[in-house]
Amino acid sequence: MTIAPWLLVAALLLGVGDSRAEGPAATAVLSARLVELRNGKGKIGCLLYASAKGFPTDASAAAQVKWCPIANKESSCSFDPVPAGTYAVACFHDENDNGKMDTNLLGIPSEGVVVSNHAKGFMGPPSFKDARFSFPGVATEIRLEMKYL
């Protein structure tokens, strides 16, 4: 018996000569188009979350944070290319341009807010589970209507 067949078996078991090439994960730009802004004051804060941790209020837990200008009561936030996966977006209208989402004494936002899927919370902010969506790794724009409480 020759060694060549055993080398072939060993190579196959170790994956040598495997024709399936694993390239880098597909990445693309994800954009959020914000409409129904009540005015053109301030700027829009957009946060992209890859998990429930901190969603939707802890900016330090967001995968990306973008500040975007307003024109004609609309705005568009584009996140740096992200890989395909599950994400949720939270946006707010920073009308007074102080760099944060303002709330009243009860913790209710006093500026416009919206999250992906237009998810709503009950006695608190919406959940990541309700706001999450599958991003295919190709350029995508989601449309979100700003809501004011």
Number of residues that this document lists for the chain:
149
Give the strand pairing for 27-35 and 140-145. parallel
Q: Which domains does the chain have, with CATH numbers?
A: 25-145 (2.60.40.10)
Residue-wise pLDDT tens digits, 45-58: 999 999 999 999 99
Q: Can you tell me which residue has the tokens 């890859």?
A: 50
pTM: 0.83
Determine contact, residues 50/86, Cβ cutoff 8 Å: yes
Q: Which of 68, 87, 63, 90 is nearest to 78 (CA)?
A: 68
Q: Over pLDDT 70: what percentage of the chain?
A: 84
